[in-house]
Amino acid sequence: MAKTKGIADLESRIERMEEILSVAACGDFGVQIETDTDMEKADALTAIETGINLLISDMGEEVRESTKKADELEEKLNLIEQQRKAIEELSTPIIKIWERVLVLPLIGTLDTRRSQRLTEALLTDIATTQTKVTILDITGVPTVDSAVANHILKTVAAVQLLGAECVITGIRPEVAQTMVHLGVDLSGVETLSTLAEGLKWAFRSLNLRMVEEQKA
Amino acid sequence: MGLQEPESKDGRRAESLTMLGISSIPILKLRDFLIVSIQIDLHDRMAEQLQQDILEQISQTQAKGVLIDISALEMVDSFIGRTLADTARMASTLDAEIVIVGMQPAVAITLVELGLSLGGVKTALNLDEGYELLQQTLEEKASEGQTSEEALAEEADDGGSD
Amino acid sequence: MTVVQIREEQDIVRARTTAKEAARELGFGLVDQTRISTAVSELARNIFLYAGEGEVHIEELNNHHGIRVSFIDHGPGIEDVDLAMKDGWSSVRAMGKGLPGAKRLSDRMEIHTETGEGTTVTIEKWLSPSSKLRIAPSPKPRGGPSLT
C-alpha cells in the first residue's frame, strides 16, 4: 500500500516535470518545480527536479540576454538610419546666398538615390522661394564618371524646366579632362571655374551690379 | 460603378465640346500676348484641340507671345509634353514666342526621368517672370531685326559704291 | 485590386488618376505619385494606341511595400521588345515611346508578349527601403542550451 502510494507520488512528480518542461518549451521560463526544501526528504528525483529548475532559469537568462541583444541591435540600426539621414541632410545644404540665388555645394559621391533626393529638395526650394539662379558647386565631388555627370545634368535640366537658371561651378581640371574623355555633353549648361565667378554670373543674370565704393 | 457615372458624363461633355472645336480652356488676350491657364487634367484630344486653338488665336490676333500657365497640371506625360513642345515650335513659325510658366517640381523631375527635354521650350517660374522673358525676347528679336536690316542696308551701300 | 477598363481615350486619364490616388493612400510622396501616374499614363496609352482596348489592374504589394500596376491587352503584341525598349531620348516625335520612359519611372518592369496574342506589362514602385528596414523577431529557442 505504502509502495503504491509512493509510486503514485512519483508518477505525479514526473507528470509535473513533464508539464513544467512543456511550459518552458513554449517559451515561459518563469516556472519552477516545487521541491521539498527538507534535505532529509531529498531523493533521486529531487536532484533531477533541481537540475530541471536550473536548466529552465539558465535558459530564461539566455533568452532575456539574446532579446536584449536583438533590441540593442535594432536600436543601433535605427541610429545608423538616423545618422544616414543626418549625413544626407548635412551633405546637401541648400544655401540662400543672395535674394533669389541659391548655392548647392555638392560634397561626396552622387548615387541615383542621393541625387534624386537632392533634386527634389532643390526644386521644392526653388519653387517655394521663386529662386532665379542656382549655383551647383561640384568642388567637393571627388570623381565625376559618366553616371555622376548624368545625375548632375538631369538636375540641371529639371531646374531649367521650372524656369530657373543653373550654373555649375568648381570644375577641377582633372574633372574637366575626364568629362571630355567620357564624352559628357555640357553644351546646354553654363559652367564656370569658381563659386565667385558663379555669383558674379548670378548678379549679371539678376541685373545687379557690384560697385566699389569710392572713398572721399 | 455608380460613382464613376458623373466622371464619364463630364468626359463626354468635354469630348462633345472638343468635337465642336472648343477646348474648354479659355485663351485670354492681353495687349500683344495671349494667356492660357490649364486648370484641368488634359486628355490627349483636349491637348491637341488646345494646340489648334492657340495657333488659331495667334494668327487671328497677331499675338507676339503666349504664356501657358501649367501650375495646376499635376502630370505631364510624353504626349502632353510633346504637344506643348510642338505648339511652341509651330507658334514660332507664326512669329510668336511661347513661354511655359509654373511647372510643378514633381512634374519637372518626372519629365527629366522620362527623357523629355521639351525641346528647349522657354520656361519661367511664374507669370511675372514669363511676361518679362517674353518682352526681353521680343526686344532682342527687334534689335536683331534692326541690325540685320542695317547690315543689309550697309551691304546695299557697299554694292552701290562699287 | 482596382480595375480600370481602357476603351476610349479618357480612360487613360481615369487610369492615371486612380493609380495616383492609390499611390497617395499607400504613403508615396508627391514626386513618386507623379512618377507612378506618368508611367501609368504612358502604358495605358500604349493599350489604347496599339490594342484598342484592355485593362489596367492596380494593386498593393505585400505588406504596404509598394504598388503594382498591370496593363493587359489582347492586341497584336510587341514583335521586337528590344526595339520597343530602345530609348527615345531625342526622338520626341516618335509615337509609343512610353516603354523605356515608364521603365525609368518605376522600380521594376516586366513585359510578357506574344505576337497575335496580346501583351501584359507589369510595373512596380516600392516605398523607400528605409521604411522596410525592420529586424525579424528572434526565434524562440527550441532545443535549449545544453547543461555544462
The average pLDDT across A125-141 equals 94
> What does the pLDDT look like over C7-47, one tens digit per residue?
999 999 999 999 999 999 999 999 999 999 999 999 999 99
B105-114 and A112-129 helices, crossing angle to 10°: 140
Q: Are C142 and A62 within 8 A, CB to CB?
A: no
Nearest-CB residue to A162 (from B117, B125, B133): B125
Pairwise CA distance, residues B127 & B125, whole Å: 7
**CATH number for the segment(s) C2-129:** 3.30.565.10
Q: Per-residue DSSP letters for C104-121?
A: HHSSEEEEEEETTTEEEE
Grid-cell match 496593363, residue found:
C71
**DSSP category for residue A144:** -
C-alpha cell at A200: 558674379
List chain C domain ranges: 2-129
In chain C, residues with a C-beta closer than 8 Å to the C-beta of A55 are: 144-145, 147
Nearest-CB residue to B41 (from C17, C30, C104): C17
- Total of domains in chain B: 1
**Within an 8 Å CB–CB cutoff, is residue C2 touching chain B?**
no
Q: Are C145 and A63 within 8 A, CB to CB?
A: no
Q: What is the pLDDT of residue B152?
A: 66
Best of C133, C134, C146 to substitute, by most chain A Cβ atoms within 10 angstroms, is C133
Establish if B2 belongs to a structural domain. no
pLDDT at A1 over 60: no
pLDDT at C135 over 70: no
Nearest-CB residue to C101 (from B44, B114, B117): B114
Q: Domain range for residue B122?
A: 14-161
Estimate to the nearest angstrom the gap between the alpha carbon of A74 and the chain centroid: 12
Listed in sequence order, the DSSP H helices in C27-136 are 30-46, 81-84, 98-105
C-alpha cell at C2: 482596382
Q: What is the pLDDT of residue C144?
A: 41
In chain C, residues with a C-beta closer than 8 Å to the C-beta of A120 are: 31
- What confidence tier does A216 reach under pLDDT thresholds 50, 70, 90? low
- What confidence tier does B157 reach under pLDDT thresholds 50, 70, 90? low
Q: Min CA distance, B102 vs chain A (Å)? A: 7
Q: Are A161 and B112 within 8 A, CB to CB?
A: yes
Looking at every residue in chain A, the average pLDDT score rounds to: 87
> What does the pLDDT look like over A29-44, one tens digit per residue?
888 888 766 767 777 7
Between chain A and chain C, the number of residue pairs with CB atoms below 8 A apart is 32
- The phi, psi pair for B40, rounded to 5°, reads -125, 160
Query: Taking CA C55 as the corner, what is the angle to CA C51 and CA C60, rounded to the nearest 5 degrees?
Result: 140
Nearest-CB residue to C38 (from B4, B105, B110): B110
Looking at every residue in chain C, the average pLDDT score rounds to: 81
pLDDT at C91 over 50: no
In chain B, residues with a C-beta closer than 8 Å to the C-beta of A133 are: none
Nearest residue to A179 (alpha-carbon basis) of A203, A152, A197, A199? A152
- What confidence tier does A196 reach under pLDDT thresholds 50, 70, 90? very high
Grid-cell match 531620348, residue found:
C89
Top-confidence residue, C6 or B4 = C6
List chain A domain ranges: 2-88, 95-205
Best of B4, B8, B76, B78 to substitute, by most chain C Cβ atoms within 10 angstroms, is B78
pLDDT at B74 over 90: yes
Q: Are A163 and B130 within 8 A, CB to CB?
A: yes
pLDDT at A123 over 50: yes
Bridge partners of residue B65, in order along the sequence: B33, B97
> What does the pLDDT look like over C38-60, one tens digit per residue?
999 999 999 998 899 999 999 99
Could you name the CATH architecture of A95-205?
2-Layer Sandwich (3.30)
The strand pair at B33-37 and A165-169 is best described as unpaired
> What does the pLDDT look like over B85-96, one tens digit per residue?
999 999 999 999
Nearest-CB residue to B78 (from C14, C17, C42): C42
**Within an 8 Å CB–CB cutoff, is residue C51 touching chain B?**
no
In chain C, residues with a C-beta closer than 8 Å to the C-beta of B46 are: none
- The C-alpha torsion from B111 through B112 and B114 to B116, rounded to 10°, is 80
Residue of C nearest to B74 (CA): C34
Pairwise CA distance, residues B73 & B36, whole Å: 13
Q: Min CA distance, C134 vs chain A (Å)? A: 8
Establish if B6 belongs to a structural domain. no
Q: What is the pLDDT of residue A112?
A: 85
Q: What is the pLDDT of residue A3?
A: 58
CA quadruple A119, A123, A124, A129: dihedral sign: positive
The strand pair at A133-140 and A165-169 is best described as parallel
Q: Number of C-alpha atoms within 13 angstroms, CB side, residue A17?
A: 18
> What does the pLDDT look like over B124-139, one tens digit per residue?
999 999 999 999 999 9
Establish if B79 belongs to a structural domain. yes
Query: Taking CA B35 as the corner, what is the angle to CA B34 and CA B40, rounded to the nearest 5 degrees?
Result: 140
The answer to whether the beta carbons of residues C99 and C119 sit under 8 Å apart is no
**Within an 8 Å CB–CB cutoff, is residue B101 touching chain C?**
no
Q: What is the pLDDT of residue C89?
A: 40
Pairwise CA distance, residues C111 & C70, whole Å: 10
Pairwise CA distance, residues B77 & B83, whole Å: 10
> What does the pLDDT look like over B138-152, one tens digit per residue?
999 888 877 766 666
In chain C, residues with a C-beta closer than 8 Å to the C-beta of B11 are: 10, 13
In chain A, residues with a C-beta closer than 8 Å to the C-beta of C137 are: 70
Q: Are C130 and A27 within 8 A, CB to CB?
A: no
pLDDT at A208 over 60: yes
> What's the CATH number where B146 sits?
3.30.750.24
pLDDT at A84 over 90: no
Establish if B7 belongs to a structural domain. no
pLDDT at A133 over 90: yes
ipTM rounded to 2 decimals: 0.78
Q: Min CA distance, A124 vs chain B (Å)? A: 6
The strand pair at A190-191 and A165-169 is best described as parallel
Q: Are A127 and B117 within 8 A, CB to CB?
A: no
Rounded to a whole number of angstroms, the CA Rg of chain C reads: 19
Establish if B8 belongs to a structural domain. no
Q: Min CA distance, A59 vs chain C (Å)? A: 6
In chain A, residues with a C-beta closer than 8 Å to the C-beta of B133 are: 163
In chain C, residues with a C-beta closer than 8 Å to the C-beta of B14 are: 10
Q: Per-residue DSSP letters for A14-41?
A: HHHHHHHHHHHHTT-----------GGG
Pairwise CA distance, residues A155 & A116, whole Å: 8
DSSP 3-state percent helix, strand, coil across chain B (nearest 5) = 60, 15, 25
Pairwise CA distance, residues B81 & A161, whole Å: 11
> What does the pLDDT look like over A42-61, one tens digit per residue?
777 888 888 888 889 899 89
Top-confidence residue, C95 or A166 = A166
